[in-house]
Structure 1
Amino acid sequence: MQTRDLTCKVASIGAWGSYFDSWETLQQLMQTKSVPAAKNKGPKPEVIPPNERRRAPLPVRLAVESSWQASQSAGIAPDTLTCVFVSGLGDTDLTDYMCKVLASEHKELSPTKFHNSVHNAPAGYWTISTKTMCAANSVAGFEESVSLTLLEAMIQCESEGVPLLVTFYDAPVADRLKPLLTNQEPFAFSLIIYPLSADIEGIALRARVNNSQTATWPVLSTENQYISGLYTDNPSAKILCLAEIFNQKNKAHEGINLPLSKGTSITFYGS
């Protein structure tokens, strides 16, 4: 059994990682085999006030930086955007910190670290910094985070008829969790999507949920080992399989099938 198609239009993209600081530089990396000699320093999103930015952990700064890029590229006021944020791992450094403190003799947690540890902290920093009163959802789905979030965002976009900010982000895992989780690279990627009928330029995207049909993540076409490593290890970087379609917006695509949940998948078509 198949459900009806969902549609939207991708109007702009923001991105940040160790070797790219925008969608444009990520596109260039995806088309080469090499990476720059030096890594970027951590992002410093200008929309967060300086005092708050100094206390913001890396996952927050990743998410807000790419979100700000996408909103500026789209030329849309950030306070008009409904938002969906997703991280497959959350802030593992703060999770590790809290577990250590609570397992120790002295159990006083830092209030700042505690409020930064909640899963919707990046969405909170974004909405407060941009003064938006629009709804902001925070999703977690580990390896299926990208497909679940795109489904959520496209349903909202189509049913409510409004533009949405969709942001994917994951930071390197805490040392304590390295035996379980392999990601050691920061990654953030943001989309501004509109209803397909919107009178703006963009990349049309169509999705179809397939019941009783499983899928595995497709192989990237890039030959860049850094990009391939991101895609394998960082849950949010699974969006790179769609980024390849966005990067080839003038080419026709047969569609890519992504895992959604046990026994279901979702197919995306770009044009």
Structure 2
Amino acid sequence: MINFNIAAWRAWAPGLDTVADWQAWSQHPCVLAANSAAPDVSFLPAMQRRRLSRLARMAFCVGWPLAEGREALPLVFASRHGETPRTFDILSDLAADQPLSPTQFSLSVHNAVIGLWSIMRGETSEMTAIAAAGDGLEHGLIEACALLNEGAPAVLLIITEEQPPEAYARCINDVPFPYAVGLLLTPGEQWQVSLASGTAGIEQAQWPHALNLLRQLLDKQQRSFQHTWKNRVWNWQHSL
């Protein structure tokens, strides 16, 4: 079992930025229409913004305000699919025998976001980038709680997924729309998460778990819920 507090959170998806926006979506969840909207990262200098993909912009949008005023804040970045648009562009160039962009390649790797975060914030604390299938949120929590147990006063956990190119539609079916969720975690027992085996009789969630967690954070009545992935059952308990 792992224990932690969620001191603050932020989330972004196209058209969903404020708590009120997410409250409305939570009450009537739906797939958002595909568009090219990107979050506002005007707090960054223009030259730095130009290097950021939408995935990176989403991560910075939710994480930057949570990190304000905190020095030496460890970061755990979790994304199952990562920079699929950049990767697809690179593969397309290869297929067309076109020269590859070194910058495009360097920004496509899974830890590129935390590298950019470290540079732009001058942050030298521990940072981890993970990809852990459909329960990446829980694996990110394990990593974050390990840092809390080692004495970190707070850890920033960012979960984000980009809408994959259409060519990946048959392979990637767990990203209904682009989204990012940032959680500022602190030591405590507000939340308890434990792991069990066997998923018989447990209904699979309709939405990615980071989005389902947002719905739980906005629903003050429900104190416990489950998230299943393959043969793993994650039991979440909130101490009101």
Q: TM-score, normalised by structure 1?
A: 0.77
**Aligned residue in 2 for 1:166:** 157
| Aligned-partner residue type, residue 207 of structure 1 | V
CA 174–156 in structure 1, closer or farther in 2 if over 3 Å, else same: same
CA 68–238 in structure 1, closer or farther in 2 if over 3 Å, else same: same
State the SS of the aligned residue for 1:56.
Answer: coil
| Aligned-partner residue type, residue 5 of structure 2 | K
2:209 to 216, 226, 238: 238
Once the two structures are TM-superposed, the CA of residue 149 in structure 1 deviates from its matched residue by 1.5
1:145-156 equivalent positions in 2, closer than 5 A: 145-156=136-147
State the SS of the aligned residue for 1:165.
Answer: strand
Residue 207 (1) aligns with residue 176 (2): no
CA 15–185 in structure 1, closer or farther in 2 if over 3 Å, else same: same
Find the aligned partners of 1:252 and 1:180 in 2 and give their Cα distance.
33
| 1:9-59 Cα distance to aligned partner (Å, 9 max, x none) | 111111110121134421232124789999783113234321121221111
Residue 87 (1) aligns with residue 84 (2): no
**Aligned residue in 1 for 2:227:** 258
1:31 to 24, 27, 51: 27
State the SS of the aligned residue for 1:196.
Answer: strand
Find the aligned partners of 1:39 and 1:174 in 2 and give their Cα distance.
12
Check the 8 A contact 1:245/1:270 in 2, yes or no. Answer: no
Find the aligned partners of 2:32 and 2:81 in 1 and give their Cα distance.
27
1:138-149 equivalent positions in 2, closer than 5 A: 138-149=129-140
Find the aligned partners of 1:37 and 1:263 in 2 and give their Cα distance.
32
Once the two structures are TM-superposed, the CA of residue 246 in structure 1 deviates from its matched residue by 1.3
CA 80–22 in structure 1, closer or farther in 2 if over 3 Å, else same: farther
| Aligned-partner residue type, residue 124 of structure 2 | M
| Aligned-partner residue type, residue 97 of structure 1 | D
| Aligned-partner residue type, residue 85 of structure 2 | D
**Aligned residue in 1 for 2:117:** 126
Once the two structures are TM-superposed, the CA of residue 151 in structure 1 deviates from its matched residue by 2.4
| 1:83-118 Cα distance to aligned partner (Å, 9 max, x none) | 100111111111111222223333x21122111101
Find the aligned partners of 1:34 and 1:245 in 2 and give their Cα distance.
16
Once the two structures are TM-superposed, the CA of residue 127 in structure 1 deviates from its matched residue by 1.9
- Could you say what the CA RMSD is over the residues aligned between the two structures, in angstroms? 2.7
Once the two structures are TM-superposed, the CA of residue 185 in structure 1 deviates from its matched residue by 1.6
CA 32–214 in structure 1, closer or farther in 2 if over 3 Å, else same: closer
CA 161–209 in structure 1, closer or farther in 2 if over 3 Å, else same: farther
| 1:213-251 Cα distance to aligned partner (Å, 9 max, x none) | 3476654xxxxxxxx6xx2xxxxx4212222221134x3
Gaps of 5+ in 1: 198-203, 220-227, 232-236
Find the aligned partners of 1:137 and 1:38 in 2 and give their Cα distance.
30
**Number of residues paired by the alignment?**
237
Check the 8 A contact 2:32/2:177 in 1, yes or no. Answer: no
Once the two structures are TM-superposed, the CA of residue 166 in structure 1 deviates from its matched residue by 0.4
| Aligned-partner residue type, residue 168 of structure 1 | I
**Aligned residue in 1 for 2:88:** 96
Find the aligned partners of 1:130 and 1:58 in 2 and give their Cα distance.
18
Gaps of 5+ in 2: none
**Aligned residue in 2 for 1:57:** 53
What's the % identity of the aligned pairs?
A: 24
Once the two structures are TM-superposed, the CA of residue 173 in structure 1 deviates from its matched residue by 0.4
Find the aligned partners of 2:8 and 2:41 in 1 and give their Cα distance.
18
Check the 8 A contact 1:86/1:146 in 2, yes or no. Answer: yes
CA 119–37 in structure 1, closer or farther in 2 if over 3 Å, else same: closer
Once the two structures are TM-superposed, the CA of residue 133 in structure 1 deviates from its matched residue by 0.8
Q: TM-score, normalised by structure 2?
A: 0.86
